[in-house]
Amino acid sequence: MTDTAAAEVAALSEDHRTSTGISNEKLAMWLFLGSECLLFGGLISTYMFNKGRIGPDDIGPDDVFDIPFTSVSSFVLLMSSLTMVFAVSSIAKGDLRRNRIWLAATAALGATFVAGQVYEFTAFYSEGLGFTTNLFGSSFYALTGFHGAHVTIGIIMLMSLFVMSVRGNLSRERAETVEIIGLYWHFVDVVWIVIFTIVYLFPQ
Amino acid sequence: MTAVQSPRIAHRPLGVFTRPQGSEGWRSWLFTVDHKRIGIMYGAAALFFFIVGGVEALFIRLQLATPNGSVIGAGTYNGVFTIHGVTMVFLVVMPMAAAFANYLLPLQVGARDVAFPRLNAFSFWCFLAGGVLLTSSMFIGGWFQNVPDGGWFNYAPNSGVLFSPSKGIDFYAVGLQITGIASLVSAINLIATVLNMRTKGMSLFRMPVLTWMLLITQFLLLFAIPVITVALFLLMFDRLWDSNFFNVAAGADPLLWQHLFWIFGHPEVYILILPAFGIVSEIIPTFSRKPIFGYHFMVASGIAIGFMGWGVWAHHMFTSGMGPLSVAAFSVSTMFIAVPTGVKILNWLATMYRGRLRFTTPMLYAVGVVSMFTIGGLSGVTHAIAPSDTQQTDTYYIVAHFHYVIFGGALLGLFGGFYFWWPKAFGYKLNEAWGKASFWVMLIGFNFTFGPMHILGLQGMSRRIPTYRADEGFAFWNMVASIGAFVIAIGVAMFLWNVYASTRKWRRAGRPDVGPDPWDARGLEWMTASPTPEHNFDSDIEVQKLDEFWHRKYGRDETGRVVRAAPTSQIAHDGSNTSVHLPSPSYWPIVLSAGILLVGYGLIFNLWLAAAGVALLVGAIYGWSLEPPDDPDAAGHHGDHAGELPAADEAEGRAGSPLELEEAQSVD
């Protein structure tokens, strides 16, 4: 690697225009994600506080959860984190074609997860668990619904990146934009691991 | 970085709308992204809401002035005290602090603007949208028919449709959600500004105390806002879509709301007061002609308050039956948080001790904060004693306490800030005689209003009850408090008259220049012309010390006496550099906020309206993202164009040696 190339890479990974060396955009995303921790913290606490507050004959977690199905959709979402990593590394190398492939793959995996959630919600609803049925229903749909909305926004951002790339507006110099959206995507995945563990796997 | 900029980006601007231009007329305010104009708009909006909230307070005091008051009915009374509290907390103190944060943070760290100028504009318009929505609840569908009526903390289950069937609580849930978005965006933006946009040499421990306090405030907002966001969503779901979060009949525990609200609400208390602490920490050293005493302790105590503020929320809930262990733990933590606050009070006193005090209007306000906040702080510590608090809960003693800290602490500090930075923002001082008179009127009125409430509370007068009987013995002090409230109103009117009269006088005198540094102050914001030029500083400043500007003005001679090192005119920038590239104005922040406002009304009244709002919102986000960059080379950054500034080095050279004693003049 020549000196110029090395300097170029250094310039891409570190922002010398700021006091911390982290670009404003990336710092803002980290701060936003810090704030999001408290948002999901509040929703998860609400769920844990409320899930047992149902009558003995009420429809509850044990009546509706399909652990194998949700495990598969969780696996799909986790795989999307892997493809997101490939998307970030490919654009950092300047490989725009692969970057597009991985962006599309990440969005597709995310969409599969959301589709699974829609299916799950429909199935639960037909089994008699609505948003207004009881405290478990309200808390469950609020928590997983907020998460699903976050995944959906992530998919929209990934698709926007994809369209930008097709139009020739996503070059190597904008690698950090992909990285920042990647941060959001990984965060949403990590939150799902917590939700999946607490909501589905903990003994009810 | 510009070396690797793709030519394709440079020659192919995205988007279809060109960016707005021009720096004159009303358009330049609607579409501005300049942090100083946004700060001024925050201040103006907060003053407007202050008058609204003040008039509401006067109606409360009219109703309570005499026993069996009948000025407003019981239902309206619920609405009036609720909207008064919500207005004063969310639409007055918070945006007034945001005014100073916006105007001063970039200047104090030596930056050209905030990290994200368009997001900054969005924060303001979004806040205004929330304020408009909340305030409109007073007259939509009839006078006070749909106003929030559950108190500012809006406890469940009273906030449910069953007990509050009007649309008032919907306005509360949606309106506060919108102002929350504004605060969150602003917090991210300002933290990024302080951490990332500091000028050369401005290390964290060379930042002024105000910058530190505002930074801590933004961190508190960053982590506190999402908690109330959750609470407001749950409330909204309950009211609009029949979920069960606070439905006691379905087994819900209404304490959930109390916990969520106060986990937000107690950090919120520090969000209200820390900016005022910062302002006082700027004013007192300036008018004591001493550096702040114990700078590191001042900063550290602020950080300590920032952390400990998260561990005291349940002291608002001592009577909720949460158990003796919780009560004991929160009782201790509440007593403990008084320690860093006490450190601040002592440091201000030590700063003034043996200083060369000048009792200008800002200094009077600052000393007012120190003394009034101490009273409020002490009554706060009495609440930490749980048995005593059990007696005081929901009495006027609590009302007295939080008005002493929020009015006597936060608002007096913010008013002191108005007087202090007015010449920096507008180029002329407010009249000192009127300023001092209005201060004393406000202070006396304040003590007559809220001082007697301690007594009323200990006598057992409940808050939020619209009237009382003559034989309860509350009549005398209530009359005193009501008279005091009108004295405060006179003081505020005198402030407004002062603004009008001082402006008129300055204009008639041909707009004389007040100079960059009318108070002989210490922060970098005084190192540029007044009013601050659009580009802030003519060149980048290299900072070597805390209170850099002061150390450029003053040095010590051989005997250790403080002497003038250089005249201000040589050190301060005159604003003549016109080659600085600045971000262009933008249409989208205000359009996006309009979309959010439509969504807000839509959620309350008609979901089709909300759908239209969402369409506008999504369009605005894409318009925002695809807006052509104002300058391809800038790529969104305008923080450091040192290369474009040939004039820079000259100014630096002149000011470089603070000890040019041949020009010195003694200050003694």
Which of A28, A43, A134 has the CB atom closest to B116's CB atom?
Answer: A28
As a whole number of angstroms, the distance between CA B450 and CA B446 comes to 6
Distance from the Cα of residue B560 to its chain's centroid? 40
- Residue B19's identity, in one-letter code, is R
Torsion angle in degrees (nearest 10) through CA of B382, B383, B386, B392: 100
Span A37-42, average pLDDT: 95
Assign B22 a pLDDT band (cuts: 50, 70, 90).
Answer: low
**Can you give the pLDDT at residue B567?**
86
Interface probe with A: pick from B9, B244, B541, B641, most Cβ of A within 10 Å: B244
| Residue B20: inside a domain | no
As a whole number of angstroms, the distance between CA B375 and CA B369 comes to 10
Q: Nearest CA of chain B to the CA of A62: how many Å?
A: 19
- State whether B4 and A11 contact (CB < 8 Å): yes
Interface probe with B: pick from A15, A18, A37, most Cβ of B within 10 Å: A18
Nearest CA in chain A to B248: A135
The percentage of residues in chain B with a pLDDT greater than 90, rounded to a whole number, is 71
Span B415-427, average pLDDT: 95
The per-residue pLDDT of chain B, averaged, comes to: 88
User: Are residues A98 and A178 in contact, defined by beta-carbon separation less than 8 angstroms?
Assistant: no
SS3 content of chain B, % helix, strand, coil (to 5): 65, 0, 30
CATH number of the domain within which A57 lies: 1.20.120.80
Span A158-175, average pLDDT: 89
Tell me which residues of chain A, numbers 36 to 55, contact chain B at a CB-CB cutoff of 8 Å. Answer: 36-39, 41-43, 46, 49-50, 53-55
Long-range contacts formed by A117-120: CB under 8 A, 24+ apart: A117/A73, A117/A144, A117/A148, A120/A66, A120/A69, A120/A70, A120/A73
| Residue B599: inside a domain | no
Span B16-34, average pLDDT: 78
pLDDT digits (tens, 9 = 90+) for B157-178: 999 998 999 999 999 999 999 9
Span A11-39, average pLDDT: 84
Closest to B590 in 3D by CA, of B138, B53, B194, B132: B132
Count, residues in chain A: 204
> What backbone phi and psi angles, to 5 degrees, belong to B568?
-55, -35
Interface probe with A: pick from B203, B206, B221, B243, most Cβ of A within 10 Å: B243
Angular region, B242: left φ>0, alpha ψ -120 to 50, beta rest: left
- State whether B242 and A8 contact (CB < 8 Å): no
How many domains are contained in chain A? Answer: 1
- State whether B188 and A55 contact (CB < 8 Å): no
**Can you give the pLDDT at residue B626?**
81
Interface probe with A: pick from B188, B190, B239, most Cβ of A within 10 Å: B188
Q: Nearest CA of chain B to the CA of A190: how many Å?
A: 18
- Residue B606's identity, in one-letter code, is N
Which of B14, B187, B227 has the CB atom closest to A42's CB atom?
Answer: B227
**Can you give the pLDDT at residue B176?**
96
Domain that holds residue A192: 35-201
| Residue A23: inside a domain | no
User: Are residues B77 and B42 in contact, defined by beta-carbon separation less than 8 angstroms?
Assistant: no
pLDDT digits (tens, 9 = 90+) for B532-569: 998 899 888 899 989 989 999 998 888 888 888 888 88
Residues in chain B with CB shorter than 8 Å from the CB of A32 are: 188
For residue A118, what are the contacts with CB-CB under 8 A and spacing of at least 6? none
> What crossing angle do the helices spanning B209-241 and B295-308 adopt, rounded to 10°?
10
Q: Nearest CA of chain B to the CA of A105: how many Å?
A: 23
> What backbone phi and psi angles, to 5 degrees, belong to B631?
-150, 115
Domain that holds residue B177: 34-532
| Residue B553: inside a domain | no
Assign B627 a pLDDT band (cuts: 50, 70, 90).
Answer: confident
Residues B180, A27, B207: CA angle, nearest 5 degrees: 85
Which of A27, A38, A132 has the CB atom closest to B223's CB atom?
Answer: A38
Q: Is the pLDDT of residue B661 over 80?
A: no
Tokens read off for B574: 């005159």
Q: Is the pLDDT of residue B405 over 80?
A: yes
**Can you give the pLDDT at residue B4?**
41
Count, residues in chain B: 668
As a whole number of angstroms, the distance between CA A154 and CA A134 comes to 30
Which of B12, B187, B230 has the CB atom closest to A39's CB atom?
Answer: B230
Report the half-sphere exposure of A158 (CA within 13 A, side-chain side).
Answer: 31
Span A174-182, average pLDDT: 92
**Can you give the pLDDT at residue B583?**
83
Give the DSSP H or E segment for B219. Answer: helix B209-241
Q: Nearest CA of chain A to the CA of B467: how many Å?
A: 38
- State whether B14 and A53 contact (CB < 8 Å): no
According to DSSP, the β-strands at B562-564 and B554-556 are antiparallel
Query: Touching check for A93 and chain B: CB below 8 Å?
Result: no
User: Are residues B453 and B397 in contact, defined by beta-carbon separation less than 8 angstroms?
Assistant: yes
Torsion angle in degrees (nearest 10) through CA of B203, B205, B208, B213: 110
Which of B1, B195, B226 has the CB atom closest to A39's CB atom?
Answer: B226
Closest to B286 in 3D by CA, of B198, B362, B183, B370: B362
How many domains are contained in chain B? Answer: 1
Q: Is the pLDDT of residue B135 over 90?
A: yes
pLDDT digits (tens, 9 = 90+) for A72-95: 999 999 999 999 999 999 999 989
| Residue A15: inside a domain | no
Q: Is the pLDDT of residue B642 over 50?
A: no
Distance from the Cα of residue A170 to its chain's centroid? 22
Q: Is the ipTM, as predicted for this complex, more than 0.85? A: yes
Interface probe with B: pick from A9, A20, A25, A39, most Cβ of B within 10 Å: A39
Residue A63 CA: distances (Å) to CA of A105, A129, A196, B350:
34, 9, 17, 67
Which of A16, A31, A42 has the CB atom closest to B192's CB atom?
Answer: A31
For residue B25, what are the contacts with CB-CB under 8 A and spacing of at least 6? none
List beta partners, residue B506.
Answer: none
As a whole number of angstroms, the distance between CA B541 and CA B639 comes to 12
- State whether B4 and A173 contact (CB < 8 Å): yes
User: Are residues B174 and B211 in contact, defined by beta-carbon separation less than 8 angstroms?
Assistant: no
- State whether B226 and A27 contact (CB < 8 Å): no
Tell me if residue B666 falls in helix, strand or coil. Answer: strand
Span B264-283, average pLDDT: 95
For residue A122, what are the contacts with CB-CB under 8 A and spacing of at least 6? none
Size of interface A-B (CB pairs under 8 A): 132
SS3 content of chain A, % helix, strand, coil (to 5): 80, 0, 20
Query: Touching check for A13 and chain B: CB below 8 Å?
Result: no
**Can you give the pLDDT at residue B16?**
57
Nearest CA in chain A to B239: A132
- State whether A134 and B252 contact (CB < 8 Å): no
pLDDT digits (tens, 9 = 90+) for B479-538: 999 999 999 999 999 999 999 999 999 999 999 989 899 999 999 999 999 899 988 998
- Residue B278's identity, in one-letter code, is G
- State whether B231 and A42 contact (CB < 8 Å): yes
CATH number of the domain within which B417 lies: 1.20.210.10
Residues in chain B with CB shorter than 8 Å from the CB of A144 are: none
Assign B636 a pLDDT band (cuts: 50, 70, 90).
Answer: very low
Q: Is the pLDDT of residue B658 over 80?
A: no
User: Are residues B654 and B570 in contact, defined by beta-carbon separation less than 8 angstroms?
Assistant: yes
Residues in chain A with CB shorter than 8 Å from the CB of B229 are: 39, 42
Q: Minimum mean pLDDT among A104-108, B479-483, B623-627: which range?
A: B623-627
| Residue B612: inside a domain | no
Q: Please give the radius of gyration of chain A, using alpha carbons only, rounded to the nearest integer.
A: 20
As a whole number of angstroms, the distance between CA B298 and CA B213 comes to 9
Q: Is the pLDDT of residue B137 over 70?
A: yes
Which of A18, A27, A138 has the CB atom closest to B245's CB atom?
Answer: A138
- State whether A131 and B241 contact (CB < 8 Å): yes
pLDDT digits (tens, 9 = 90+) for B294-322: 999 999 999 999 999 999 998 999 988 88
Span B258-287, average pLDDT: 95
- State whether A31 and B14 contact (CB < 8 Å): no
Residues B132, B485, B407: CA angle, nearest 5 degrees: 65
List beta partners, residue B395.
Answer: B462
| Residue A114: inside a domain | yes
Q: Is the pLDDT of residue A10 over 90?
A: no
List beta partners, residue B462.
Answer: B395
Residue B11, Cβ neighbours under 10 Å: how many? 8
As a whole number of angstroms, the distance between CA B373 and CA B342 comes to 10
Residues in chain B with CB shorter than 8 Å from the CB of A41 are: 226-227
User: Are residues B191 and A31 in contact, defined by beta-carbon separation less than 8 angstroms?
Assistant: yes
Closest to B155 in 3D by CA, of B88, B82, B215, B94: B82
As a whole number of angstroms, the distance between CA B82 and CA B158 comes to 13
- DSSP 8-state secondary structure symbol assigned to residue B395: B
Cα four-point dihedral sign B603, B605, B606, B611: negative
Tokens read off for A160: 């926007």
Query: Touching check for A131 and chain B: CB below 8 Å?
Result: yes
Higher per-residue pLDDT: B19 or B215: B215
Q: Which class for A55: exposed (0-12), middle (13-18), buried (19 or more C-beta within 10 A)?
A: exposed
Span A1-26, average pLDDT: 64
Which of B14, B195, B250 has the CB atom closest to A169's CB atom?
Answer: B14
- State whether A24 and B192 contact (CB < 8 Å): yes
User: Are residues B62 and B54 in contact, defined by beta-carbon separation less than 8 angstroms?
Assistant: no
> What crossing angle do the helices spanning B209-241 and B255-288 adopt, rounded to 10°?
160
**Can you give the pLDDT at residue B227?**
96
DSSP alpha helix (H) spans, B393-427: 396-405, 412-426
**Can you give the pLDDT at residue B578?**
78
**Can you give the pLDDT at residue B13?**
47
Tokens read off for B361: 């209007």
pLDDT digits (tens, 9 = 90+) for A120-133: 999 999 999 999 98
Assign A204 a pLDDT band (cuts: 50, 70, 90).
Answer: low
Which of B242, B244, B260 has the CB atom closest to A42's CB atom?
Answer: B260
Q: Nearest CA of chain B to the CA of A171: how many Å?
A: 8
pLDDT digits (tens, 9 = 90+) for B565-624: 888 888 888 888 878 888 888 889 999 999 999 999 999 999 999 999 999 999 999 888
Cα four-point dihedral sign B627, B633, B634, B636: positive
Which of B222, B229, B252 has the CB atom closest to A31's CB atom?
Answer: B222
User: Are residues B458 and B136 in contact, defined by beta-carbon separation less than 8 angstroms?
Assistant: no
For residue B531, what are the contacts with CB-CB under 8 A and spacing of at least 6? B36, B424, B425, B426, B427
